[in-house]
Amino acid sequence: MATFLYELGRFAFRRRHFIALFRAALPAVAGVAAFNAPSAGASSFSIPGTEAQKACDLLDQRSPATARVVKTVVEQSRRRPPWWWARNR
């Protein structure tokens, strides 16, 4: 490991102008790629015909305000990381 790091440092020092150019170009390339990336997809997701989708549609019909609250709570609970679920069971 020490030999590898020594050789890497020696390479970086000997070609410091190339390394400086590379370090300046890398964020520029990343910025151009991010600018040209496609936009995010739709934030809603549904699978027609499932029991859960039928329940959500029924909630929308009977009480739209409650349906929004229930959907928000379900969506927020899905965003928790796996370690949270293991710790809080």
Cβ–Cβ < 8 Å for 60, 67:
yes
DSSP class of residue 50 equals S
| Nearest Cα to Cα of residue 43 among 83, 11, 13, 75 | 75
pTM (2 d.p.): 0.39
| Alpha-carbon 21 to chain mean position | 30
Condensed to tens digits (0 to 9), the pLDDT of residues 35-88 reads 998 887 766 666 777 887 787 778 778 776 665 666 665 655 556 666 666 666
The per-residue pLDDT for 33 is: 93
Report the SS3 class of residue 42.
coil
Domain boundaries, the chain: 2-35, 51-87
